[in-house]
Structure 1
Amino acid sequence: MTFSAWLTAHYEEKGPVAWLAFFLELIAAVTLFFLMLLTCADVFGRYFLDNAVDGTTELTEMGIAILVFAEMPVITWRAGHVVVDILDRWMSNSLIKALGLLSAFLIASSLYFLADRIYYLAARALRREEVTEYLQIPVGHIVEYIAIMSWITAAAMITYGVYRLLFLSRD
């Protein structure tokens, strides 16, 4: 079986969205694997060698940021967020869909402007050459990654909203 056939069989997304989802999930999986290795090495070193891995906290914080923001666009496109539907039984189907579209566009615009501010802070951190305390890793690159992934998530939210409007909103 070719990789393309495997991807088609295991991902409900089509075209480039499936490839993007796979790539982002691969980033998250590799990051989680390295976090597991880092934690095991740190615990082993701490309890058996009396020497912990230097910078474990910094690396864990960066790894969690990479993991969370790699999965945000995928979860957004798949509508995997928590939805409270307490009032849905008293509303019409078209009102529920309209409110869903409104929330998709509000969330997307909020993410866009939040990412814009985050990117400004990343540029400032790079200009000031801010680094982490122990490992001296430039902070700006991780913050830039967070901003870029937030923009991608905003785009995923808008495209998902338009997709719902055009293809799923028919009663």
Structure 2
Amino acid sequence: MLQTPEKFLRWSSGLIASMALFAIMWLTLIDVTGRKFFNHSVPGGLELTEILMVIVIFGALPLVSWRSEHVVFDSLDAVVPAWLKGIQARLVHLVCAGTFGLLAWLMTTRAQRFAEYGDTTVHLQLAISPVAWLMAALLLLTALVHALFVFSPPIPVAHGETTP
């Protein structure tokens, strides 16, 4: 039913996150090899790793939300009546959509401030605002995923997995 949004998420945020993770892997390999054998590390390697980690984490958020692979507190599920679980799921998605939307808005204000002040990283002098704008966009995308689930929550299947 909702195959197109999952495909879009895989090819947008999933691809961004996986490329950043792949870059971290190679950066770490080159950095460790350089330190071990040439007594020289990659200049600004820590800054690059930090930026790439942000991209991995925020890039994965929409997919994690879409697949309902986030941490779930289910200790009370045994005592919650079945008729209430659907309402509960919609309320949780509404709260998540609002929270991620608020975080996206806060991140846009922060990104704007970074751009106005011309903030850069210390060693490589890379602009911080594009990373903050990307974070805001991925937070907004996550909010939209949860907003979609307010109206059409994922359907639970075997072994705790869900399908949208």
The normalised TM-score by structure 1 is 0.85
Aligned to 1:153: 142
- Return the letter of the residue paired with 1:134: H
Post-superposition shift, 1:23? 3.0
Aligned to 1:32: 21
Of 125, 128, 135, which residue of structure 2 is paired with 1:136?
125
Deviation digits for residues 107-129 of structure 1 (CA, Å, limit 9, x no counterpart) = 11011111101110100110110
Give 3-state SS (helix, strand or coil) of 2:42's partner: coil
Partner Cα separation in structure 1 for residue 101 and residue 14 of structure 2: 22
Coordinate RMSD, CA, aligned? 1.7
- Return the letter of the residue paired with 2:94: F
Post-superposition shift, 1:69? 1.0
- Return the letter of the residue paired with 1:57: L
Aligned to 1:78: 67
Identity across matched positions, percent:
29
Partner Cα separation in structure 2 for residue 13 and residue 97 of structure 1: 19
Give 3-state SS (helix, strand or coil) of 1:101's partner: helix
Aligned to 2:43: 54
Aligned to 1:5: none
Q: Does 1:41 align with 2:30?
A: yes
Q: Does 1:22 align with 2:14?
A: no
* Aligned residue pair count: 156
- Return the letter of the residue paired with 2:30: A
Q: Does 1:68 align with 2:57?
A: yes
Contact 2:13–2:138 (8 Å) recurs in 1 = no
- Return the letter of the residue paired with 1:28: A
Post-superposition shift, 1:25? 1.7
Post-superposition shift, 1:17? 3.2
Post-superposition shift, 1:13? 5.1
Partner Cα separation in structure 2 for residue 69 and residue 92 of structure 1: 34
Aligned to 1:91: 80
Q: Does 1:106 align with 2:82?
A: no
Where does the alignment leave 5 or more consecutive residues of structure 1 unmatched?
1-11
Where does the alignment leave 5 or more consecutive residues of structure 2 unmatched?
157-164
List, as ranges, runs of 4+ consecutive aligned residues in structure 1 with deviation greater than 4 Å: none
Deviation digits for residues 11-54 of structure 1 (CA, Å, limit 9, x no counterpart) = x9512431332332222221111110000110011111011001
- Return the letter of the residue paired with 2:34: G
Give 3-state SS (helix, strand or coil) of 1:88's partner: coil
Partner Cα separation in structure 2 for residue 22 and residue 125 of structure 1: 28
Partner Cα separation in structure 2 for residue 30 and residue 70 of structure 1: 10
